[in-house]
Amino acid sequence: MKVVLASSSEVAAPILDHLLNSQHDLLCGISMPDKPTGRGRLPAPNAFSLLCQTKNLQLHTPVNGNELNALLRKIAPDVVITIAYGRLIKLEELMIPKFGWLNIHFSLLPRWRGAAPVQRTIEYGDSESGISIFRLDEGMDTGPIFYSEKIHLTGEETFGSLLSTLSGLAAPATLKVLEMLTRGDQPIPQDSNGITLARKLTKEEARIDWKKEAFEIERQIRAMNPWPIAWTMIDQQRISILKSSVSELVGAPGKILSTSPLIVGCGKNSLSIEIVKPAGKREMSGAQWIRGARLPTESFFV
């Protein structure tokens, strides 16, 4: 089968490797154009573009729908597989490949349609997650599903670790779906019940509100790691928090209840701060940081 892989993210790496080592003909990669980055604002390729370069895979970066349409008509793929591509695909482009477009989504659809399914899964304390591979249509993750696979969560996953697990699951699953297409198998329409929207994550959400329950803040910290990283302020210092656990100590929200380990009061229960990163410094334990912080008496996290 003649395949095109469209992405702008490193999460496509396992799928790219599986396709390159399969019997399918991977024609090329498609990605977003280079974007200005860094202090010099010089154009730089995204992670998927760099992957294609290292694999010597031909890469195209159409700047708009017209260029994408012309490219697809020229190379005539049987199917386009997309994962974290970053562009809405119009109906005309969806209809060009013989088998349409397949989208790889990191949730058990219809739960967590949208831009941030992995983060919202952790933030809301779901007990399970998984992947869904569906035929792309003009809706927001609304297409019929060819394949889904469920995993149970331990409650210790971060955004980064769960994303890695799910991208690994997606690679062999993608090859299974290509076999289904070859056999003529048809996808199943999504359930109309249980639809939730995983809105895009923002940097503003990363600031910790200590009036919330400790369990909620702990999930927030895991959902924000490795981006945008949960943070708080104390004595005019910004402190990023990378790892925590819930404690049963009780105290006012933001109050330091213990220094070894570092425990901070919340709206309900409290939070043991295990790993922090002060602004401009390396990662360290919460207890190590507080020993050298020299904070005024009765300092509060805010």
User: Residue 173's domain is classified under what CATH number?
Assistant: 3.40.50.170
Kindly state whether residue 236 falls inside one of the protein's structural domains: yes
Q: Are residues 7 and 36 in the same domain?
A: yes
Q: Are residues 11 and 119 in the same domain?
A: yes
Domain end (from 162, 197, 232): 197
Instruction: Give residue 297's pLDDT.
Output: 84
- Residue 237: which CATH number? 3.10.25.10
Kindly state whether residue 16 falls inside one of the protein's structural domains: yes
Kindly state whether residue 228 falls inside one of the protein's structural domains: yes
Token look-up 């999930």 returns 219
Q: N- to C-terminal Cα distance for the chain? A: 56
Kindly state whether residue 279 falls inside one of the protein's structural domains: yes
Alpha helices in the chain (DSSP H): 13-20, 47-54, 65-75, 91-94, 117-123, 159-183, 214-223, 286-293
Domains in the chain, number: 2
Q: Are residues 254 and 106 in the same domain?
A: no
User: For residue 121, which of 82, 150, 83 has the smallest C-alpha distance?
Assistant: 150
Q: List CB contacts of 7: < 8 A, sequence separation 6 or more.
A: 29, 30, 31, 48, 82, 83, 84, 85
Kindly state whether residue 299 falls inside one of the protein's structural domains: no
Kindly state whether residue 226 falls inside one of the protein's structural domains: yes
Q: Please report which helix (H) or strand (E) contains residue 6, including its range.
A: strand 2-7
Domain end (from 197, 213, 241): 197
88: containing domain: 2-197
Q: What is the mean pLDDT of each run of 10 residues along the chain (302 residues)?
A: 97 98 98 88 93 98 97 98 96 97 98 98 98 97 98 98 97 98 97 96 95 98 98 96 97 96 98 97 97 90 97
Q: Are residues 106 and 165 in the same domain?
A: yes
Q: Are residues 208 and 254 in the same domain?
A: yes
Q: List CB contacts of 284: < 8 A, sequence separation 6 or more.
A: 275, 276, 277, 278
Kindly state whether residue 298 falls inside one of the protein's structural domains: no
Q: Are residues 209 and 161 in the same domain?
A: no
Instruction: Give residue 257's pLDDT.
Output: 96
Q: Are residues 175 and 231 in the same domain?
A: no
Q: Are residues 55 and 170 in the same domain?
A: yes
Domain end (from 182, 197, 212): 197
Q: Are residues 79 and 181 in the same domain?
A: yes
Instruction: Give residue 39's pLDDT.
Output: 77
Q: Are residues 38 and 147 in the same domain?
A: yes
Q: Are residues 147 and 113 in the same domain?
A: yes
CA distance 138 to 87: 12
Q: Are residues 56 and 33 in the same domain?
A: yes
Instruction: Give residue 37's pLDDT.
Output: 82
Instruction: Give residue 24's pLDDT.
Output: 98
Kindly state whether residue 302 falls inside one of the protein's structural domains: no
